[in-house]
Amino acid sequence: MSLLRTLPMRRHPRRTAGTLVALVTIVPLAACSTPTASPGVDEETVTIGTHTPLTGPAAAGYSSISAAASAYFDYLNDNGGIHGRSIEYVVKDDAYNPATTQTVVRELVQEDEVLAVVNGLGTPTHSAVLDYLNENGVPDLFVASGSPSWDQPETYPWTFGYNADYITEGKVLAHHAQQTYDDAVYCVLGQDDDFGTDFTVGLTTVLDELASTQTYSVSNQDVTAQIGAMQAAGCTVNFLATVNGFTALALGTAAKMGYRAQWLSSSSGGDYPTLVGYLGEDVGPALLEGFVSTNYLPFSADDPWVELFQKVNDEYNDGAPFTGNTVFGMSVAYTFAEALARAGEDPTRESLVEALESGEVVGNGIVPLQFGKESRRAFGGVGITVVEGGVQDYVGEVYTTDTGDGDVVVYDGEAVALENEGIPEG
């Protein structure tokens, strides 16, 4: 690498095509780091990274996730880390632009030499780096998206999903609706991408037909036309494949139009504190009374996990608003720590994946993680939450199902219990 310094730097800038192109190449070189046994692991630290939108319009909904995860890693590090190593979490902004995602993920892998990419966020963005990470054998853990496409162990052995997939959520919500409401007219409002499409596939697997299927685009924050169509179609039970902001818009718009219906949302847009944030403290609680959503992470106020996360949030995250994103980010961080603890004294990329494939990493959800040799699917089931008296909590059964046309069945196991203050031991 010292070659560049010895190159004659005298140049004659002529306005010609060739030299222009040549000039582009004069970019600073980063120092080459000395090779270690495994990338991202040295005596004291384990370096991992993520891509997430911190700028641009998408940042509003998601930037708090990586902050919460970072806070949990800080908590772990202050309590001795994993196998004596602290975890360094490198967060890269991709502005939700797939081309930028490619650049920052390469930077993580090639410059920062991370052990793994953890919780890369978004379906279109992460799709862009799926091939790259798998070709280079970089563990691609806990993708923050409910697309079923992360579960392809044959094609993408290094990729592990995290969210309960949209099809599962759709099937469980549809099943719950069938059990709960009589003579209902079912409709759906979905985002105009795979989130909406996959969720609707899940719904129609269980329900015979939907009276109205509406879509929205994130670039247009006016959903009056869609809600009007649902009202006109006489929909009484409406499913939502919407992000939090648009769940709030849908409910707010319906209320303004004097349209009352039962709303059932995917976990991606069903977080009560966030929704109240959008709707306002004054009207939010009233609008959200009776609101149904799926979830798969601990959420009850007296749950030991939630109490721990609240403590970590106060101490390490500057007391940021405690929302579903906080629980999500910290759960991901805990799950990575658990995987790292199971990956041996001196973790490598291979041992990390082996630990996950062993099925011993169970996470902290209401159902244990399903990872195994043949499965990259994290959560095979979800629970149902309802807002009652301004409190969102689980009600009734937890259900599991597959992404095909299998039945929705009741899960009779337990949620994963908190152990050792949330600090996994090897």
Partner 1 sequence: MDRFVFLLGTGLARGTLFALFALSLVLIWRATRIVNFAAGAMAIVGVYVGVAVTGVTGSYWWGLVATVLAGGLVGLVVERGVLRFASPRSPLSGVILAIGLVIVLQSLLGIAFGQQHEPVPAPFSDRPLRVGGVPLLSPYDVFVVVVALGLMAVLRLLFVRTTLGLQLRAAAFAPEVARLLGVRVARMRTVGWVLAAAAASLAALLAVPKELGLNPHAADMLFVYAFTVAVVGGLDSPGGALLAGLTVGVVMSLVTGYLGATLAPVAVLALLVVVLLMRPSGLFAQAEARRA
Partner 2 sequence: MSARRTLLLAVGGLVLAIGLTFLLDPYRNYQLAIAAAYLCATAGLTVLVGLSGQLSLGHAALMAAGGYGYALTSQALTTAGVGGLPRFLAATVAAAVAAGVLGLLLGLAGARLHGPYLAGLTLTLVVAVPAAAASVGALQGDRGIRTQFEGVPGPLRTLIALEQWQAWVALAVAAVAVTGLVLVRDGRTGLRMRAVRDDEVAAALAGIAPARVKVLAFVVSSVTAGLGGAVLTFVTQSVSPGAYTVSLSLLLLVAVVVGGLGSLLGAALGAVLLVLLPWLVGTLTDALPLPSQVTQRLDGTLALLIFGLLLILLVAGAPGGLAGALTTARARRRARRRPPAPGPTAARPVPTGGDDPTGPAARPGPVGPTATRPGEPVRTPTEG
What is the Cα–Cα distance from 57 to 300, expressed in whole angstroms? Answer: 30
Choose the contact partner of 245 out of partner 1, partner 2, none; CB within 5 to 8 A by kind: partner 1
Choose the contact partner of 184 out of partner 1, partner 2, none; CB within 5 to 8 A by kind: none
Choose the contact partner of 15 out of partner 1, partner 2, none; CB within 5 to 8 A by kind: partner 2
Render 239-289 in DSSP notation, one character per residue. EEE--HHHHHHHHHHHHHTT---EEEE-GGG--HHHHHHHH-TTTHHHHHT
Choose the contact partner of 25 out of partner 2, partner 1, none; CB within 5 to 8 A by kind: partner 2
CB 413 within 8 A of CB 368: yes
What is the Cα–Cα distance from 311 to 358, expressed in whole angstroms? Answer: 31
Q: Per CB under 8 A, does 179 bind partner 2?
A: no
Q: Which of 3, 9, 37, 417 binds partner 2 (CB under 8 A)?
A: 3
Name the β-bridge partners of 323.
Answer: none
Closest separation between CB of residue 339 and partner 1, Å? 30
What is the Cα–Cα distance from 257 to 224, expressed in whole angstroms? Answer: 9
Q: Which two tokens stand for residue 405?
A: 């046309």
CB 364 within 8 A of CB 335: yes
Q: Which residues are near partner 1 by CB under 8 A?
A: 54-57, 59-60, 63-64, 192, 215-217, 219-226, 228-229, 232, 245-246, 248-249, 252, 255-258, 277-280, 282
Q: Which is nearer to partner 1, 320 or 416 (CB)?
A: 320
Residue in 164, 175, 112 with CA at minimum distance from that of residue 138: 112
Choose the contact partner of 27 out of partner 1, partner 2, none; CB within 5 to 8 A by kind: partner 2
Residue in 152, 199, 201 with CA at minimum distance from that of residue 377: 152
Q: Which is nearer to partner 2, 111 or 407 (CB)?
A: 111
Q: Is the four-CA dihedral 243, 247, 250, 252 of positive or negative sign?
A: negative
Q: Which is nearer to partner 2, 55 or 79 (CB)?
A: 55
Q: Residues 108, 113, 115, 119: what is their CA dihedral angle, to the nearest 10 degrees?
A: -10
| Three-class secondary structure of residue 411 per DSSP | strand
Annotate each residue in 93-132 with x if it binds partner 2 (CB under 8 A) or - if it does not, as one string.
x-xxxxxx-xx--xx--xx-----------xxx-xx--x-
Strand runs labelled E in 185-234: 186-191, 212-216
Q: Per CB under 8 A, does 18 bind partner 2?
A: yes
| Three-class secondary structure of residue 395 per DSSP | strand
Closest separation between CB of residue 33 and partner 2, Å? 10
Q: Write the single-letter amino acid at 369.
A: L
Annotate each residue in 189-228 with x if it binds partner 2 (CB under 8 A) or - if it does not, as one string.
---xxx----------------------x-x---------
Q: Which residues bind partner 2 (CB under 8 A)?
A: 1, 3-4, 7, 13-30, 32, 54-56, 59, 63, 66-67, 70-71, 74, 90-93, 95-100, 102-103, 106-107, 110-111, 123-125, 127-128, 131, 192-194, 217, 219, 317-318
